Chain A
Amino acid sequence: MQQRKGKIIVEESKAESRGGAKKAKNFALTVIAPVLVVAIWFIVTNTGMVRTSILPSPQKVVSTFWSLLSSGKLWTDMSISFIRVLRGFALGALLGMVIGSLMGFSATVNRVLGTMVSILRPIPMLAWIPILILWLGIGESSKTAVIFIGSFWSVLLNTIHGIQSTDVKLLEVARVLEKKRSVFIFKVYLPSALPSIFTGLRLGISSAWTCVVGAEMIAATSGIGYMIHYARELAQPARVYAGVICIGVVGVIIDKGLLVLQRKLLSWAYVDQE
């Protein structure tokens, strides 16, 4: 009996290590492309194949990054940008969810606003910037507006889609039980739309973050986007790259963080992993 138990434990630990090997393999697969890119970057810059005024070496970018970080400059610019993103995103998410809900629930509202949505949505961010400057000037409000527009559409469309794709079969259950309209809305439509709304929020904050550089092209004197523009004007390529990479990394962190949150809050919508 004792022996058997021992054997089982051994097998379990084998299975575990197999699981560990699989995990290691998956990890290797996800990091292989970036590692390769950095390696090539390292080679072409250190052998003089590419001019360092166009592409500084990775070690130069890293040391610039450290000096920016230790001087506190990076932190200040990042937090200023981040607050701008949050302000624009909060507005975009709120309006996106409210208008999206109205359009999802009411065919009339959907018809009235639908045309406007299809006209306005394809307008690229860069085309909005001059208009927003005309309307709002070059202060904070036009920067917030750029980020607002950047995050609004994906929240809006995903909210509409989430509500409209509520399972007819579940709606029939509520109809058979003679439920009130408020129960339909708050207990059936909205919960079933939540995963889609959350996806909209995730896409929204990601695109808000990518819009920040555009927004900080408008007469900014601070922020990560400003830092990048300014560094380019001063011909400091290492600083440009450090800033660009920072934006990418923070974007990944925001997205992954929200994904984890989504899986935790809406665990019912996901198949349990072994």
Chain B
Amino acid sequence: MNTTRRKEAISNSNLLFAIAAAIFVLMYGFAILCYPRSFLQYQTFFDLFNLNAPLIILTLGLSIVMIGGGIDISVGAVTGLVTMCCAVYLESGTGSVGGSMLLALGIGVAFGVLQGFLIAYLEIQPFIITLSGMFLANGLLTTIHKDPLNVTLPEFVLLRDFELVVPWLGTTNRLGNFIPLAIKPGTVVALALIALLAVLMRWSRFGRNLYAVGGNSQSALMLGINVKRTKFGSYALCGLLSGVAGFVYIMTTGAGNVGNASGFEMKAIAGSIIGGTMLSGGVGNLIGSPIGALTLLTINELIRAAGVNSNFQSIVSGLLLCVFIVLQSVVLWLRGARGFRLALPAWLAPSGERG
């Protein structure tokens, strides 16, 4: 190969990912410095997953759609609708855990397919379609059941309380008792999905086509990519992930509630963006997005640990989001300026990109 220039200019996608990872490490390091007692425990780290698996799963879905140059703001409402439907079904007396899983996935896919069809094949603005999807899901949710609904089906309660125990990663509490690390099934689902989807986006034809469509859909069409089908696929997949997130949600909390997962779509968008996905499409990373979400969650944990009024969580999250975005665009802008290249040391360059 060419040996004239050894340092490869890192692609925007990887650069943004590096920034996201660095920000998360810094943020978590800061948290450890401030509250070593709590943040040094493995449990605290895994609790980020245990308690927020649905949000992380939604972040994945949104990143996929955003990489394709779209947006889906219905995911939070669909997730909420799924939790309520599952709760009602499980409490109906005829329900089973397997059936509720299918129900969750079915509802998610139904929304994804419908919205994807309207957006990809009828070429309607994704924002408007998914906004209407959000209203629809919200309306259905309150129509089906208004009050909180606890699921009491024994098999389900068993699943809800199930925890994977990792004895060698525990902590000793204040009383001197050893508490092993507990991981919820939702965490496993979220981690598995991260791995699976990251592979999908990096190595599958669908994933690469989606990057091309997000980068320049006209070119993608000329390159022989089925743009409509690819876009449709991204929304369908995002819908499916909303279904999964809904089931994980109710599996964690064990109850259907009108307020379930409300506002998650915005948090997921924020997480994706902090994680290095660009709203303009074509740039993003499926490992980066959950890291972005974790950054947001760490901030929330920090604020909670500091004992400040929880209203401040939103304020601080908002401000930090703004700072991150400005930081990202400043870095990209600096790169765009002629004669400036962020030359990374060889060991930091992404594998396979060393020239």
Asked whether A and B interact, the reply is no
